[in-house]
Structure 1
Amino acid sequence: MLEVKLHDIGEGMTEGEIIHYLVKVGDSVKTDQPLVEVQTDKMVAELTSPCSGVVKKIIIDAGETVRVGTSLIYIEADESIKMEQKTSPEMKQDVKKEAFSPVMLKEKNMALTFNRVLAAPFTRKIARDNNINIEDVPASDPSGRVTEEDVYRFLKGQQPETQKESVVAVQKEAITLETPDEIPFKGIRKKIAEKMTKSLFTIPHVTHFDEVNMTNLFRMREELKASGESVSVSAFLIKALVISLKDFPIFNAELDEDNSRILLKKNYHIGIATNTDSGLIVPVLHDADKKSIKNIHAEVKGLTERAIAGKMQPFEMQNSTFTVSNVGPLGSTGATPIINYPETALIAFHKTKKQPIVNERDEIVIGHIMTLSMAFDHRVADGATAVAFTNRFASLIEHPHKLMMEMI
């Protein structure tokens, strides 16, 4: 009998919530077949079977949170594995060790071998509580992601004709009769809260606001687009940031209080704050200084799509040295962002507006002005240095030819 245990599928993971079992007692399973969905502090992952066999016992109920190393399922291996174990005691020992090997299980579990419906854990819970197969629910989102509204819409569609009411009547009934929904405060949401609290109560935050004239960059982007090269604004912003960080390495640093030192990082791993149904995810663009603007565009697009779909790999969210939050497309005009601990600074890009500006010839023209806010650790850097840093960044963006020169 082989045990399937909860193992560490992410950096420093200590516990996980059992979201949903994909098999039941008596089911035949194959090697690498997904067995159970687990919510960690960063993602929803599937644990797969280490062998072919039959599920004999499910030990932990769905909804419970357990520590790493806890046994979840017993599987009786099929006859071929049993025969191998009987014929070779050494092989039996090796198979058992392999079944418990965290490295092997991690490699297996990172590959999701089955295409399953995209849906947040809370959405899946609503479906399960109403005895709905999530795979039967049509998705209204073009990406194929099933939302809470899709589940409720599907649920109402299952009611007999005599019970159906007008949309207005249903809304009124919901206001007067329905109890408030509850959102479990755990998983990614709880981890975000813990990390933000630690950051805010550990780091003396200072927020510096500035404006950047995006007019020339937009013009250059249009020229590139006309020639067949479509690159996002974010890619240019990240490239300019990396160049500025090299000039001001104090912001690509980490304070080591225990040893009374500031560590200036030699790698430039840029965290990309991304809003998802499960909460804020920060995928990391590793070695951004070694990538072209075109490559940055492609990699950031891929990272963002995987984060939204809940398909991030643990290594894709590790070792960031500086974080970027692009909230302008959401309509944000300003904020006081919280630093992604233990980093030294975070920069947020806000809404770009058309407004009158005075050009070099003292003419009033229409320009594209973006606001930014930069939060930094006042233990590590001072306000004057932060202003110099954003001035350097703004200069590269406002004069894109300087940005090109820095890459030669």
Structure 2
Amino acid sequence: MEVKLHDIGEGMTEAEVLHFFVKSGDAVKADDPLLEVQTDKMTAEIPAPANGRIEELLVEVGQTIEVGTTVLTMTSAVSPRTASSTEGPSPVEQSGGSKRQPSSTTVTLPKRNKPIMASPFTRKIARDQGVNIEEVKGSGPSGRILDEDIYRYLESQESEQKEASVTSEEMDGEAVQAIPSTRTSEPETIPFKGRRKQIAKKMTQSLHTIAHCTHFEEVDVTTLLEWKEQSKAAGKNFSLSAFFVKAVSIALKDYPIFNARLDEEEELIHLNRDHHIGLATDTEDGLIVPVIPHVEQKSIYKIQTEMKELTAKALNNQLSRQDISGGTFTISNVGPLKGSTGATPIINYPETGLMAFHKTKQRPAVVNNEIVIRSMMNVSMTFDHRVADGGTAVQFTNRLVDIIESPQLLALEMI
């Protein structure tokens, strides 16, 4: 007996095979589900037309098949209940003769008064968890069943089982005593308000508004570290973070598009002349971004002094509104955290770019055709693809890399 995909009356011409409930050799009863298919309008199960045994599956999961395609073959133990032969069964003889057994069967998918709306993945979750999806109440639009509805249903079932009274037992001939039900402990909660809630709103606004794009590059910081040690020996110590801030500012002079702000209503891109660099700072209460204003006018040592002051304020929750306003570009230096080799940071809306500096590791590198050990650092540049293109972002990053790898270039910029 051939079981075929039949038009269920929704104007369908094809369907995708989502899942088989049976395999070759399985015994099935009439109306048992054989497989599940997804049309452009609904998901439905193809039932067994009669009692029998599965012979061969003729299509694969994930395959899109047309109406009339044979999906499997099976032997039939009794006459089909919900099938019609493609050859047409013989009518019942008036003399009491029996029907001829059809050699090919086309199965009509059962119609529901109210189709169950759920994605194939949600249905898979229900199957894997042993949940009858018809018993689940959907919380999505028009009653659509979502993934969380399946898990919520499982939790409610588990809760009911735990709260049910436990069967009593006689102990040592004494009266039957009820065993108290067990309850799970309440989960610990963290208030979702204040700074945490504001961070969430800002990140959501950024992701929903900006066309994020990130590219990565590696930087050889060996010469910079040597230069830093030489400066320290001469009594002029500086932090790498302050150097990175200044290097970014120099690169922004050549590529001001990343120091811009897009005004969609006015259909204008504002190129900011001033470099107000934000510093992503990790605090106990969450991420905060204090701003160093007019970096283009300041030395590395002035930048370093202001960085220390702003970081101290951030950690002690003493930042003023002015300290965190007006940023035009943000830097995230996660290297000191010793745990990041790459990331795709979220832009600090309404800015256009964000540069993240990751941890430095000693790695083999080829220099002058020789393998040597160098101190290498990864950087990730995230930008608003509505404002700038990937080629320009690469050029900007290359300019920054040149300054970091050859720190003497910075001195030339100061002349």
Deviation by residue 1:1-60 (Cα, 9 ceiling, x = unmatched): xxxxxxxxxxxxxxxxxxxxxxxxxxxxxxxxxxxxxxxxxxxxxxxxxxxxxxxxxxxx
**Alpha-carbon distance in structure 1 between the residues aligned to 2:297 and 2:185:** 55
* 1:284 equivalent in alignment to 2:295: no
Paired position in structure 2 for 1:405 = 412
Cα RMSD, aligned residues only: 1.2
The residue number in structure 1 matching 2:363 is: 355
- Structure-1 residue corresponding to 2:202: 195
AA aligned to 2:258 is F
* Structure possessing the higher relative contact order (Cα contacts under 8 Å, 6 or more residues apart): 1
Q: Partners of 1:393 and 1:317 in 2: how far apart?
A: 25
1:323 matches 2:330 = yes
Aligned to 2:307: 300
Q: Distance in 2 between matches of 1:219 and 1:234?
A: 15
Give the 3-state SS of the residue equivalent to 2:388 in structure 1: coil
Q: Separation in 1 of the partners of 2:242 and 2:220?
A: 16
What amino acid does structure 1 have at the position aligned with 2:356?
Answer: A
For residues 196 and 304 of structure 1, what CA distance do their matches in structure 2 show?
Answer: 21
Q: Confirm whether residue 396 of structure 1 aligns to residue 403 of structure 2.
A: yes
1:339 to 347, 371, 375: 347
1:250 aligns with 2:280: no
- Per the alignment, residue 213 of structure 1 pairs with 220
In the TM superposition, residue 181 of structure 1 has moved relative to its aligned partner by 2.0
TM-score, scaled relative to structure 2:
0.55
**Deviation at 1:266?**
1.0
**How many percent of aligned residue pairs carry the same amino acid?**
56
Q: Deviations over 1:284-327 (max 9, x none)?
A: 00111111001111111111111011111111000000000111
Amino acid at match of 2:386: R
The structure with the greater share of residues assigned to helix is 1
Counterpart Cα distance in 2 of 1:178 and 1:245? 54
Max radius of gyration: which structure? Answer: 2
Which aligned pairs between 1:134-173 and structure 2 lie closer than 5 A?
none
Counterpart among 381, 387, 393 of residue 374 in structure 1: 381
Partner of 2:39: none
How far apart, in 1, do the equivalents of 2:262 and 2:345 lie?
Answer: 19
Tell me the distance in 2 between the aligned counterparts of 1:236 and 1:404. 11
Q: 1:177 to 1:302 in 2, by over 3 A?
A: farther
Query: Deviation at 1:345?
Result: 0.7
Deviation at 1:177, TM superposition (A): 8.2
SS at match of 1:194: helix
Code of the residue aligned with 1:350 in structure 2: it is H
Aligned mate of 1:274, from 277, 281, 284: 281
Task: Give the deviation of 1:178 after TM superposition.
Answer: 5.8
Q: Can you list the C-alpha shifts for 1:187-206, whole angstroms capped at 9, x where unaligned?
A: 11011111111110111110
Unaligned runs of 5+ in 2: 1-182
- Number of residue pairs aligned between Structure 1 and Structure 2: 232
Amino acid at match of 1:401: Q
Deviations 1:61-94 (CA, angstroms, capped at 9, x unpaired)? xxxxxxxxxxxxxxxxxxxxxxxxxxxxxxxxxx
Which residue is 2:269 aligned to?
262
Paired letter, 2:293: H
1:334 partner amino acid: G
Please tell me whether residue 222 in structure 1 is matched to residue 229 in structure 2: yes
Letter of the structure 1 residue corresponding to residue 347 of structure 2:
I
TM-score between the two structures when normalised by the length of structure 1: 0.56
SS of corresponding position for 2:356? strand
Could you tell me how far 1:218 is from its partner in structure 2? 0.3
Amino acid at match of 2:207: L
Q: Which moved more, 1:177-186 or 1:318-327?
A: 177-186
Q: Distance in 2 between matches of 1:393 and 1:280?
A: 25
